[in-house]
Copies of this chain bind each other. A is one copy, B any other.
């Protein structure tokens, strides 16, 4: 820490260090398994209460980590949507669902922890509403889904919602699996983020085009 730094700069640096460390520890050990104290120690804070002081409760900290990545993904999706405006190619709309998170992960360098962190937060009862509010209920996501729905006009509303949920779950959990495999060195052939994107887009297009079997 340079002596010339101002107090707000130091505060910002401390907050960044805590967020980065917390995301890594949550991804490695599970969100509920890691204490504020462990995060503070691993982030080089001598004060036991640094995490609580800067971020409040664990839910607040989780929200802040999710939020930290939201702007980049949101900006990227809006860019991609602008490029395909009015497109009648389903694959392009599915690509806009998949690419922003993958492009963001690719931009973070190696290793990343974000995909595993999001998969856990999305599955834990205490945190899933935070992920839904920050990641799914965004303007770009609504625009993306509306564009996609226009290309499958025959699908009943409830099937659209069901396949929307399936698309989200596939993206969240496949990215977490791929990130883990990359990290543990057990990744199969498709070991790049680009190949992961293509595999997901192929599968999700297939899912949206699948005929609907009626049920009683």
Contacts and interface: CB of A to CB of B under 8 A. Distances in A.
Given A206-B209, A211-B202, A213-B202, A124 B30 contact: yes
Interface in A193-207: 194-195, 198-199, 201-207
Interface residues of A, number: 51
Interface in A165-208: 165-166, 169-170, 173-174, 176-177, 188-190, 192, 194-195, 198-199, 201-208
A190 to B, nearest CB: 6
Nearest to A127: B30
How many subunits of this chain does the assembly comprise? 2
Contacts of A29: 125-126
A188 to B, nearest CB: 5
Given A29-B125, A190-B162, A215-B190, A202 B195 contact: no
A158 B203 contact: no
B173 A201 contact: no
A71 interface: no
Contact of A201 (B194, B195, B206, B213): B213
A79 interface: no
